[in-house]
């Protein structure tokens, strides 16, 4: 299949729609001032072929897409013990919701809502993993130095009252082992990782290669079994309370972030990253989802 011409076609179809609907995340200035009329798409195949179109080289705030990578690290360090602290069910609630935590004694529904990602950050801190380690992991995965946007990280910390509440609430149930401040420092930084579609499509490619490193023969990033499980969680929980709809209309495991990025996986074949900053009501990139719909329609790729 000529993926480059498929991506070029999608770029041509999406571009006239830029800026028409949706709104950029505006809870912090670093995201609010991102120009809305941008769209990028990139893919990386199992064999290492890359294709991209539009603003695929423009870095953006990966936000909750980072939850996919911290989950991968936590599964590596903890194996099945991770699931004593974090569930695997879709939440059906907004990503920053507090309501289920009380009923579930401080155990978050899944690793992809904020509470779950904060619990994962706590597990990583317990393993001596900090923000430098996470950045090294991301840089190794995409083969290029990536950085934190420190302004975004500082704003996340200054305005993250709900995340602070989530962390303290879980701590009150004895489900956070480390100092809340230290755990949140890692969480706020992971949200502020600055990467492009091209870098993210490549970084996630271990998910279409049974856990092998995206582009070279070094030791595997994770096991085949963990890869299957991460993909399952992306399908059921990766796009917040819209995960059912996304499975229905796109049919690929996806993880989105409020920076407008979405990583999608065609298991055993390729990873894909789309980005456009305007979001729908659930916090998913509106045109990013539209582009993924076009991609599956044009290629016939689906896990079903």
Tell me which residues are annotated as active site. 64, 67, 187, 240, 258
Q: Could you write out the DSSP letters of every residue in the chain?
A: --HHHHHHHHHHHHGGGTTSS-B---SSHHHHTS-SS--EEEEEETT--EEEEESTT--EE-GGGHHHHHHHHHHHHHGGGGGGT---S---S-TT--HHHHHTTT--S-TTSHHHHHHHHHHHHHTT--HHHHHHHHHHHHTS--EE-HHHHHHHHHH-HHHHHHHHHHHHTT---S-HHHHHHHHHHHHTEEE-HHHHHHHGGGGGTTT--SSS-SSPSS-HHHHHHHHHHHHHHTTGGGHHHHHHHT-S-EEE-TTSEEEEEETTTEEEEEE-S-B-TTSSBHHHHHHHHHHHHHH-----
Which is nearer to ligand GLN, 251 or 257 (by Cβ)?
257
Binding mask 21-60 for ligand GLN (x = CB under 6 A): ----------------------------------------
Q: Choose, by CB under 6 A, the member of 39, 60, 69, 95 that binds ligand GLN.
A: 95
Q: Choose, by CB under 6 A, the member of 96, 126, 159, 249 that binds ligand GLN.
A: 96
Has 114 been labeled as part of a binding site? yes
Q: Choose, by CB under 6 A, the member of 279, 283, 285, 296 that binds ligand GLN.
A: 283
Binding mask 222-261 for ligand GLN (x = CB under 6 A): -----------------------------------xx---
Has 146 been labeled as part of a binding site? no
Has 64 been labeled as part of a binding site? yes
Decide: is 163 part of the binding site for ligand GLN (CB under 6 A): yes
Nearest distance from C-beta of residue 34 to ligand GLN, angstroms: 13
Nearest distance from C-beta of residue 258 to ligand GLN, angstroms: 4
Decide: is 282 part of the binding site for ligand GLN (CB under 6 A): no
Decide: is 191 part of the binding site for ligand GLN (CB under 6 A): yes
For residues 105 and 117, give the distance between their C-alpha atoms in angstroms, rounded to a whole number. 16
Q: How many residues bind ligand GLN (CB under 6 A)?
A: 11
Decide: is 149 part of the binding site for ligand GLN (CB under 6 A): no
Nearest distance from C-beta of residue 216 to ligand GLN, angstroms: 30
Interface contacts to ligand GLN, rule CB under 6 A: 63-64, 95-96, 114, 156, 163, 191, 257-258, 283
């Amino acid at each position: 299949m000529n993926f480059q011409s498929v991506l070029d076609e999608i770029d041509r179809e999406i571009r006239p729609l830029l800026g028409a609907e949706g709104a950029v995340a505006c809870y912090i200035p670093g995201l609010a001032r991102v120009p809305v009329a941008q769209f990028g798409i990139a893919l990386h195949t199992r064999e290492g072929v890359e294709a991209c179109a539009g603003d695929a080289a423009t870095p953006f705030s990966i936000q909750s897409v980072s939850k996919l990578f911290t989950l991968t690290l936590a599964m590596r360090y903890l194996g099945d013990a991770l699931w004593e602290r974090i569930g695997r069910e879709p939440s059906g609630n907004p990503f920053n919701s507090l309501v289920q935590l009380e009923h579930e004694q401080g155990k978050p529904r899944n690793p992809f809502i904020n509470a779950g990602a904060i619990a994962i950050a706590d597990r990583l801190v317990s393993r001596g993993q900090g923000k430098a380690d996470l950045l090294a992991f991301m840089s190794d995965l995409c083969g290029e130095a990536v950085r934190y946007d420190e302004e975004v990280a500082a704003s996340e910390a200054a305005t993250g009252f709900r995340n602070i509440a989530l962390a303290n609430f879980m701590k009150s149930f004895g489900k956070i082992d480390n100092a809340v401040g230290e755990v949140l420092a890692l969480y706020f930084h992971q949200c502020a990782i600055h990467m492009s579609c091209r870098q993210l499509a490549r970084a996630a490619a271990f998910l279409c290669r049974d856990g092998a490193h995206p582009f070279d023969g070094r030791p595997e990033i994770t096991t085949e079994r963990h890869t299957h499980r991460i993909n399952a969680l992306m399908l059921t929980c990766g796009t917040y309370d819209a995960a059912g709809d996304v499975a229905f209309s796109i049919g690929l495991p996806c993880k989105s972030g409020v920076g407008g990025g979405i990583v999608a996986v065609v298991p055993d074949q390729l990873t894909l990253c789309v980005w456009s900053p305007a979001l729908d009501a659930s916090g998913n990139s509106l045109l990013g989802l539209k582009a993924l719909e076009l991609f599956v329609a044009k290629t016939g790729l689906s896990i079903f």
